Amino acid sequence: MNPTLSDLEAKATRKKAAFGGDAHIVCDNLVRIYKTEGVEVVALQGLDLLIDKGELVAIVGASGSGKSTLLNVLSGLDVPTAGVARVAGMDLLSMSARDRLRYRRSIVGFIWQQTARNLLPYLTARENVELPMKLAGGGRARRRRADELLELLGVASCADRRTPEMSGGQQQRVAIAVALANSPQVVLADEPTGELDSETSEQVFDALRTANRELGVTVVIVTHDPLVAEQVDRTVGIRDGRTSSETLRREDAEGRIIAEEYAVLDRVGRLQLPRDFMNALDMERRVRLELESDHIGVWPAREESTDD
């Protein structure tokens, strides 16, 4: 049954929980301004984003939209200019240098686009996976955990190979094992399939999905490949340093995958109408809104009368 208008009014007066509540990743009005030689570039312009524990989310957007800036903030490499960024309960703006090191070592794992940046070429795959555990003071179970991770990601056969003896896709799957070595709560991947062909990309993507499903780790993948984004439950679109749209995928009763695109509503109620919708109805400057019991109607403004 649809709610009545008085139900909606009662709901509106109820107190709202703090933004983000217990989300695993919270970005609230995040701003990052770069200053170079007196010129300011606003890379993030009040970005809001919530990701729950155990989600697998893709972040898409055109070049320059702010995706890498966001990922650098979430990985603890960069500090935003203003706003709130919280991951696994840790405040990324006020964290001490010591906490930052701990955060980067054991709370987040990272996978870069360039395969060469993820692995040391003179170590075998197994040694690469063992290295972060060694740096964090891990004990003798290191080798067993490295082998288990390589097995889980389908690259057990590469354990004794060095980087030049592996394909690009195998290297990226080993890189995922390296990122998972210290059992992080969150894995961040910046264009992890950017240098790979579509078939190999699919294998790397499968490996990320396996890590998410089997280990319960929250996974955030930045990409500008819309096809890659089709393989996740939620895709967040970024435009001009803000979240602009979300696509949610679900299965219907017949098992068909349905993707629905939503506009993002910010905390004060602003939303961006798609340009093609506005053009189709000649919407400009103002629209008329009407609250119904289960939706809000948006109409073009009435034509001004030209009669005298």
Ligand X SMILES: Nc1ncnc2c1ncn2[C@@H]1O[C@H](COP(=O)(O)OP(=O)(O)OP(=O)(O)O)[C@@H](O)[C@H]1O
Neighbouring C-beta atoms of residue 52, cutoff 10 Å: 13
**Residue 47 CB, nearest approach to ligand X (Å):** 11
Give yes or no for a contact between 129 and 141, defined as CB atoms under 8 angstroms apart: no
Report how many residues bind ligand X under the rule CB under 6 A: 13
CA 18: distance to chain centroid? 21
106 in contact with ligand X (CB under 6 A): no
Give yes or no for a contact between 206 and 169, defined as CB atoms under 8 angstroms apart: no
Give the nearer residue to ligand X in terms of CB position, either 68 or 106.
68
> DSSP letter string over 237-300?
EEETTEEEEEEEEEE-TTS-EEEEEEEPP-TTS--PPPHHHHHHTT-BSBEEEEE-SS-EEEEE
Q: Draw the binding track, 60-89, toward ligand X (x: CB under 6 A; -: no contact).
A: -x-xxxxxxx--------------------
**Residue 32 CB, nearest approach to ligand X (Å):** 8
Give the nearer residue to ligand X in terms of CB position, either 112 or 205.
112
User: Which of these ranges, 34-42, 142-150, 201-209, 268-276, lies near ligand X under the rule CB under 6 A?
Assistant: 34-42
41 in contact with ligand X (CB under 6 A): yes
**Residue 123 CB, nearest approach to ligand X (Å):** 28
Contacts of 274 (CB under 8 A, 6+ apart): 263
**Residue 77 CB, nearest approach to ligand X (Å):** 11
Q: Draw the binding track, 167-186, toward ligand X (x: CB under 6 A; -: no contact).
A: --------------------
Which of the residues 215 through 234 are near ligand X (CB under 6 A)? 224
Q: Draw the binding track, 229-268, toward ligand X (x: CB under 6 A; -: no contact).
A: ----------------------------------------
**Residue 198 CB, nearest approach to ligand X (Å):** 19
Which of the residues 186 through 205 are near ligand X (CB under 6 A)? none
Give the nearer residue to ligand X in terms of CB position, either 65 or 171.
65
Give the nearer residue to ligand X in terms of CB position, either 36 or 305.
36
According to DSSP, the β-strands at 218-223 and 39-51 are: unpaired
State how far the Cα of 220 lies from the Cα of 85, in Å rounded to an integer: 15
Give the nearer residue to ligand X in terms of CB position, either 51 or 181.
51
Q: How many CA atoms are closer than 13 Å to the CA of 157, on its beta-carbon side?
A: 5
Give the nearer residue to ligand X in terms of CB position, either 75 or 185.
75
Q: How many CA atoms are closer than 13 Å to the CA of 6, on its beta-carbon side?
A: 0
Give the nearer residue to ligand X in terms of CB position, either 167 or 272.
272
What tokens appear for 298 in the block? 């948006």
Q: How many CA atoms are closer than 13 Å to the CA of 23, on its beta-carbon side?
A: 19
Give the nearer residue to ligand X in terms of CB position, either 25 or 166.
25
Nearest in space to 153 (alpha carbons), one of 172, 127, 132, 128: 172
State how far the Cα of 246 lies from the Cα of 10, in Å rounded to an integer: 28
**Residue 64 CB, nearest approach to ligand X (Å):** 4
Give yes or no for a contact between 86 and 20, defined as CB atoms under 8 angstroms apart: yes
36 in contact with ligand X (CB under 6 A): yes
Binding residues for ligand X (CB under 6 A): 34, 36, 41, 43, 61, 63-69, 224
